[in-house]
Amino acid sequence: MRLTRRLLARGVSVVSLIRNPEQAGDLRALGAHPIVCDLERATAAQVEEAVTGSDAVVFAAGAGPGSGAERKLTVDRDGAIKLLAASASADVSRYVMVSAMGAEDPPDRDDVFSVYLRAKAEADAAVESSDRAWTIVRPGRLTDGPGSGRVRIASHAFEGEVPREDLAAVLDALLAESRAARMILYVNAGERTVEEALAACLTARAS
């Protein structure tokens, strides 16, 4: 929802894939076009149809808190890979993946959070090996407080947390920045504006 508001504010048309039909009204009220498409149950053809005509796809789904290890695999891993395959079939070149800090070196324990990080790591690996113009975003702990508009973006992992609003601002900026393709970026709260933080990261990559 936060990313949708930002995209619509700059005139971008947004198609929102949702599991719960009850969310459709809120999205329509914003000006988005909701499509009920449960990534766990939808066929490859159904997902492809939903994203056909898009310029970019953002995977921001998740099994959510309270879900078990099995759904970390079916949503956070398999859902991302299914959406990636649909993007390729529909010739959507840009794919932005919301992953998680810790996916760079996931633990091998059996607790749910460890399974979650391994699911993210496996999905990220599929994205990296694809031919899409991908960007993987690995934020720290997400918070629900107001955004500050200031973040730190790096090409290596670092501890921290970030408001969801500020993460949405980073995703919005990435969708408008083709130079961020084929990058893994770590995001947390910081001192720079989103534009400054992203520009610094892109400059460091080019040097």
8 A C-beta contact, residue 75 and residue 115: no
pLDDT at residue 19 in the model? 94
Which one-letter amino acid corresponds to residue 160? G
Q: What pLDDT digit, counting tens, does each position of 45-104 carry?
A: 999 999 999 999 999 998 887 889 999 999 999 999 999 999 999 999 999 999 999 999
Per-residue pLDDT tens digits for 119-130: 999 999 999 999
- By DSSP bridging, strand 183-189 and strand 150-154 are antiparallel
Taking CA atoms, 147 is separated from 2, 142, 167, 177, in Å, by 11, 11, 9, 21
Q: Are 75 and 59 in contact (CB under 8 A)?
A: no
Q: What is the pLDDT of residue 127?
A: 98
DSSP one-letter code for 178:
G
Give the pair of three-digit tokens for residue 32. 């988005």
Which SS3 state, helix, strand or coil, does residue 35 take?
strand
DSSP string for residues in 89-141? HTT--EEEEE--TTTTS-----SHHHHHHHHHHHHHHHHHTSSSEEEEEEE-E
pLDDT of residue 151: 98
Note the pLDDT tens digit of each residue in 166-183. 999 999 999 999 999 999
Under 8 Å between Cβ of 135 and 183: yes
Q: What is the predicted pLDDT for the residue at 63?
A: 83
Instruction: Give the pLDDT confidence score for residue 67 in this predicted structure.
Output: 86
pLDDT higher than threshold 80 for residue 147: yes
192 pLDDT exceeds 90?
Answer: yes
Beta bridge partners, 185, equal: 137
Which residue, among 203, 173, 147, 197, has the nearest Cα to 58 in the 3D structure?
Answer: 173
Q: Quick one: pLDDT at residue 68?
A: 92
Instruction: Tell me what pLDDT residue 206 has.
Output: 81
pLDDT of the residue at 123: 98
Residue 207 pLDDT greater than 80, yes or no: no
55 within 8 A of 30, measured Cβ to Cβ: no
Distance of alpha carbon 135 from the chain centroid: 9
